[in-house]
Chains A and B, each alone.
Chain A
């Protein structure tokens, strides 16, 4: 079975500060890992994904994440927060079957203070 744990349901940062959203996963097979962002009343937008190869993955809007197998982590970072980054962020894992279905964490709401 696969699972995802996001540490911290709410994270608050000041504009211009580092953003760090934590994600740990459990998987009995090599995982595919994803970060999605959701703005109010919208669907999920893919920020970045890890499948194989380079463990540091760069995504859209200046976000990046590093796959650390030894720590079973896939934390999301951004050097400098912008007001427009305020949203809910979901970490997800797939790979346990051929279906590609995503198993999501509970989400982290990012607040950006001016």
Chain B
């Protein structure tokens, strides 16, 4: 079946612009996670959704970062006023309720010029 789908796969934008990253989880997966992977910081948790609610936003690095999830499915991660330190690969993962194993998408590689 279809895995976690992320778009775009690559995004290049200028400093100060806003960007939106999309994640389409595996059908039926109620839990959705965003992570960031960068050379300096490794893999970091950003936010967790259960359904449309985000009970854990503790990893969002600043108020420029926000995320939403609608219909218990697709999620969008938005970064406002991008900075060069936002350059990273943003990974989305999903899992079935009660299953600890997370299934990852291929990520969006974000480059800020």
- A side interface size, CB within 8 A: 25
User: Given that A49-B100, A99-B55, A101-B56 are known contacts, is A43 also in contact with B42, CB under 8 Å in the complex?
Assistant: no
A88 to B56: give the CA distance in the assembly, Å.
28
A42 to B37: give the CA distance in the assembly, Å.
12
B95-109 Cβ-contact flags toward A at 8 Å (1 or 0): 100001111111100
Contact of A42 among B33, B55, B106 (CB under 8 A): B106
Distance of B38 from chain A, by nearest CB (Å): 12
List chain A positions with a Cβ less than 8 A from chain B. Answer: 32, 34, 36, 41-46, 49, 51, 90, 92, 94, 97-107
List chain B positions with a Cβ less than 8 A from chain A. Answer: 4, 31, 33, 35, 42-45, 48, 50, 55-56, 59, 91, 93, 95, 100-107
